[in-house]
A and B are shown apart, each in its own frame.
Chain A
Amino acid sequence: MIRLEDVAARAGDFRLAGISLEIPAGGYGLVIGPTGAGKTTLLEAIAGHASLEAGRVFLRDRDVTQVKPEDRAVGFVYQRYHLFPHLSVEDNIRYGIASGPLDRIQQRHRVAELAEALGLTPLLRRGVGDLSGGESQRVALARALAPRPTILLLDEPFASLDPTTRHLLRRELLELHRRERVTTLQVTHDFQEALRLGDVVAVMAEGKIVQRGTPEEVFRYPNSAFVARFIGAANVIAGTVSRTVGGDVDGPRFAARFDSGPLTLEVIAEREGPLNAVIQPEDLVLSRAPQSGSARNRILATVTGLETVGPVTNVFLDAGHPLVAAITTVSAKAMGLARGEAVHVTLKATAVHLV
């Protein structure tokens, strides 16, 4: 278990403030945020490398705020691997167990076990200078796991890898995570990684956590335009919400209008005034003819571009405001969509998330 209580830390000129976060034992947490958000500093604070100005760090239910890094039993993998360049692959992996309770045979066995799991066996005798990025990252991972830490901290471990290696390593990491039952906290700037790996996601900006939840919650209900844009929401529209006269009311929620220039949408809101509308591309339904049904928003738009990404086609639209819809490539072909053509867009009022 990793628990941070109102942590404030400083590293150089950078400051973390008011960080509270909990990753359950055996869980996989992800901290996402843009470069300079303080993600690495957060990991270093957990590992004990950055001294805290306030707050407490708990690892395995124990308050380790004052505990030295070497006594925290934490594995740490940096983005740039930071392998020891004067040691072989084998000695790098063995580094953390060379002086522990294991005898030399047990050490060799542990190194061989991890090398086998990560496909490093043929590389054990080699120096680390001529390893590829993927190989280096595997060695760094094996080195961190060798002492059997119960906590693993990963600093953008896939950022410097090509997409194929990244995909492969991600799978291997998940497998290792399950096998070694290590509570893992990974930082990344890639929300897709969070969707694939994490049980818990925290979004960081300027040294603070601005939203936390399950990846699905954060993806579906970003709490600010910043988070929406950061997680890659294609449709984030600034506008104004005003209550519909005589509209339905359900507790704090009421029927309202969202205006952004020529684009007007019916929405369900909890407050009026300037807000951002977040619309998932999958929630925009396209058709050649006007649709009847329960959806409150029916817009006539012009196709401005098409982008096919395997089975999904992104359709770029001008509806008085640029919008992106995601439909299956089969549907796009069946509809015969082309640039400059008119298309009817249908959208439920409940699919517009206001932040």
Chain B
Amino acid sequence: MRRLPSRTNVTFALLGAVLVLFIVGPIGRLLLMATPATLRASLTDPEFTASVTLTLATATAATLIGATFGIPLAYLLARRRFWGKRIVLGVIDLPVVIPHPVAGLALLLFLGRRSPVGSAFAELGLEFVSRTPGIVAAMLFVSAPILVSGAREAFYAIDPRLERVARTLGDSPWRAFRRVTLPLAGRGVVAAATLAWARSVSEFGAIVILTYNPKVASTYIFDRFTSHGLYAAIPAAVLLLLLALGVFALIRILQPAEAR
């Protein structure tokens, strides 16, 4: 005969169910508010499609830049002991605790034309404020911790002795990384990059301060909500939600089974 679940388990399950419903409820309600007709109308709205295209392109650019600088850093953080490692780890995680409008203000001060860095970039023809690179910068700032932490975990999970075996078999450190570590950590690194990409797509607070126009999808939805009201914003919001859910499913597929 099957044993009845304990009172503790039942209590925990009920408490957990409240939170699960709190997450599922609003998402379900939003999805049910859209009709095929309104979704079709949004998909044919050039302003919306332009904002989605811009979102996808800038999120991809932010992820590629983050991966270029972040994956080597993640490897070092996973493998090496060095002076200041704890400080670097703290700095990398810093954007997670900074409110995103505050991050936007900080980026505005750092990359604006009046700052030495901003003016130096401007000399090179790269401006951030109210420009597409500003969106990429904001996305990179908020998504980098996710990419670096995820990639670091993926590298950390690979036994360093596999690399040592490869070295004794004649591989240089780079060759051992390319032939052993990267193929083994690859899924985890791609999952981290995809999560960072998704975080970029969902960013609003930092972008809206640095670059309100051109509009990314989140800014477009905010603009529709403040200018035309709740119902005008719903179709675009649902389409963005569906995109996010698709990326989420992809991440779950990419993640190693034990991490799910």
A interface list, Cβ under 8 A from B: 44, 47-49, 68-70, 72, 74-76, 78, 80, 82, 84-86, 95-96, 99-100, 143-144, 147
Contacts and interface: CB of A to CB of B under 8 A. Distances in A.
17 contacts: A49-B167, A69-B164, A69-B167, A69-B168, A70-B172, A72-B168, A76-B164, A76-B165, A76-B168, A78-B161, A80-B161, A82-B159, A84-B162, A96-B168, A99-B170, A143-B169, A147-B170
A96 B170 contact: yes
Interface in B151-186: 159, 161-162, 164-172, 179-180, 183-184
Contact of B169 (A68, A80, A85, A147): A147
A85 B165 CA distance: 13
Interface of B: 159, 161-162, 164-172, 179-180, 183-184
Contacts of A48: 167
A327 B162 CA distance: 48
Nearest to B164: A49
Given A49-B167, A95-B169, 9 more contacts: A47-B167, A70-B171, A70-B172, A78-B161, A84-B166, A95-B179, A96-B168, A96-B169, A147-B169
A47 B171 CA distance: 13
A86 B184 contact: yes
Nearest to A69: B167
B162 A82 contact: yes
A167 B223 CA distance: 76
Contacts of A80: 161
**Majority-rule SS of A interface residues:** loop
A355 to B, nearest CB: 37
A68 B184 CA distance: 24
Given A85-B184, A86-B183, A86-B184, A74 B168 contact: yes
A84 B172 CA distance: 16
Contacts of B167: 47-49, 68-70
Nearest to B160: A49
Most A CB contacts (10 A, CB to CB) among B161, B170, B180 go to B170
Contacts of A44: 164
A198 B159 CA distance: 30
A120 to B, nearest CB: 17
A70 B168 contact: yes
A70 B171 CA distance: 6
B143 to A, nearest CB: 28
Nearest to A77: B165
Most A CB contacts (10 A, CB to CB) among B164, B168, B179 go to B168
Contacts of B168: 47, 69-70, 72, 74-76, 96, 144
